[in-house]
């Protein structure tokens, strides 16, 4: 082997393994499984301590982590840092778009039967704020600022689809805008992810995009980034009709415009809302140019409820598309 070069052994490493290694690499001190669990929750990864302990044992066998003491605390090894660096580089490019498309293609919701799997976002908060959060969902729905009038509550110490809720906390699952993408795709409509951004509302009507993030240019879901940065004013729109809200923009080929409108009409009949703009072919969508031969579709982001709660001073952890949930298991707002 040439001097100065190091060969890093290739490993099959899961998303949970990567997140555990990231948490260990960023911690200034050894971490227990309970502390790792709390750190993963902040990143939108919800797993039980038992699952974390299982992954730690596997990582230890591979030499990527080591025990610090008899209490089970771990630290990441030099080999673990090398593998983590390699894994992050290989998974970073195009991750957001690929993940979004995968989830959209997995949607089975059928507007005619009003059943099937939808993509859900996750809002995690202290359980004392649960009632207020549910009230906000009603207000947003009444103001046509909620994509779909459904929610699922996961109580403290419950687990659901990889979501493990800590004691004293609750998680609300709300419908993600990727569900509409999925319904369109199942209807034969090709969808192109373009931007997540903020749209200025005046007198409760959308005026124009004021911020844009390309899905191809970020490793963090655009709307999640904008909402966590607290750049929205959804609550102000509720009170005055003016402010900025998170919005997802797609492009669709011009030949599919009629079918798109028909599909959106079917959703509207079932109480779905939040379609802000369907532009004409080759015409800008809320001020943003579209590619030749396509039209723009702009819809309220599924993270809008989280944005409103953050604006009202409620400490809520907001995570973009996380899992699939049968609509039948959600309740109407």
* 194 φ, ψ (degrees, to nearest 5): -115, -70
Radius of gyration for the alpha carbons in the chain, expressed in angstroms and rounded: 21
Give the percent of the chain with pLDDT over 90.
68
CB 196 within 8 A of CB 248: yes
C-alpha distances in angstroms, 273 versus 147, 181, 268, 333?
5, 14, 6, 13
Give the percent of the chain with pLDDT over 70.
93
Q: Write down which residue in 66, 92, 118 finishes a domain.
A: 92
The string of pLDDT tens digits covering residues 99-123 is 888 899 999 999 999 999 999 999 9
Give the pLDDT score at 92.
Answer: 55
* 88 and 110 both lie in a single domain: no
* 24 and 142 both lie in a single domain: no
Please report whether residue 242 resides in a domain: yes
* 109 and 178 both lie in a single domain: yes
Number of compact structural domains in the chain = 2
Q: How confident is the model at residue 9 (pLDDT cuts 50, 70, 90)?
A: very low
Of 241 and 45, which is predicted with more confidence?
A: 241
The string of pLDDT tens digits covering residues 170-190 is 999 999 999 999 999 999 999
Whether the pLDDT of residue 319 is over 90: the answer is no
- Domain boundaries, position 35: 15-92
Least confident of 23-27, 36-40, 89-93: 89-93
* 148 and 186 both lie in a single domain: yes
* 148 and 242 both lie in a single domain: yes
The string of pLDDT tens digits covering residues 230-278 is 999 999 999 999 999 999 999 999 999 999 999 999 999 999 999 999 9
Give the pLDDT score at 46.
Answer: 78
* 44 and 129 both lie in a single domain: no
The string of pLDDT tens digits covering residues 146-166 is 999 999 999 988 888 777 788
Whether the pLDDT of residue 311 is over 80: the answer is yes
Give the pLDDT score at 4.
Answer: 36
Q: How confident is the model at residue 1 (pLDDT cuts 50, 70, 90)?
A: very low
Please report whether residue 88 resides in a domain: yes
Please report whether residue 118 resides in a domain: yes
Please tell me the distance from the alpha carbon of residue 19 to that of residue 27, in angstroms, as a whole number.
12
* 72 and 110 both lie in a single domain: no
* 159 and 19 both lie in a single domain: no
Give the pLDDT score at 83.
Answer: 85
* 72 and 122 both lie in a single domain: no
CATH number of the domain encompassing residue 128:
3.30.70.1360
Please tell me the distance from the alpha carbon of residue 64 to that of residue 56, in angstroms, as a whole number.
9
* 67 and 213 both lie in a single domain: no
* 150 and 52 both lie in a single domain: no
């Amino acid at each position: 082997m040439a001097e100065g070069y190091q060969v890093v052994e290739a490993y099959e490493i899961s998303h949970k393994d990567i997140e555990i290694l990231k948490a260990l690499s960023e911690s200034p001190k050894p971490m227990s499984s309970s502390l790792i669990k709390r750190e993963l929750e902040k990143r939108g990864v919800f797993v039980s301590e038992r699952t974390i302990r299982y992954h730690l044992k596997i990582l230890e066998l591979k030499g990527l982590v080591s025990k610090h003491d008899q209490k089970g605390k771990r630290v990441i090894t030099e080999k673990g840092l090398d593998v983590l660096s390699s894994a992050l580089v290989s998974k970073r490019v195009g991750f957001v778009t690929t993940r979004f498309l995968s989830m959209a293609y997995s949607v089975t919701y059928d507007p005619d039967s009003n059943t099937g799997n939808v993509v859900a976002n996750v809002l995690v908060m202290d359980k004392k704020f649960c009632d207020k959060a549910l009230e906000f969902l009603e207000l947003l729905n009444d103001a046509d600022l909620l994509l779909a009038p459904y929610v699922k509550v996961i109580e403290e110490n419950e687990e659901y689809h990889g979501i493990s809720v800590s004691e004293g906390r609750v998680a609300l699952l709300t419908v993600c805008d990727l569900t509409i993408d999925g319904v369109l795709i199942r209807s034969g409509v090709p969808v192109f992810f373009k931007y997540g951004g903020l749209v200025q509302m005046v007198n409760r009507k959308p005026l124009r995009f004021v911020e844009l993030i390309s899905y191809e240019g970020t490793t963090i879901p655009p709307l999640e980034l904008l909402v966590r940065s607290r750049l929205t004013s959804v609550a102000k729109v509720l009170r005055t009709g003016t402010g900025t809200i998170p919005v997802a923009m797609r492009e669709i080929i011009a030949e599919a415009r009629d079918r798109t409108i028909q599909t959106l009409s079917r959703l509207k009949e079932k109480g779905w809302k939040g379609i802000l703009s369907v532009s004409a072919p080759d015409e800008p969508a809320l001020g943003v140019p579209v590619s030749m031969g396509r039209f723009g579709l702009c819809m309220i982001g599924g993270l809008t409820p989280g944005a409103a709660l953050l604006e009202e001073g409620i400490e809520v952890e907001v995570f973009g598309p996380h899992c699939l949930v049968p609509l039948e298991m959600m309740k109407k707002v």
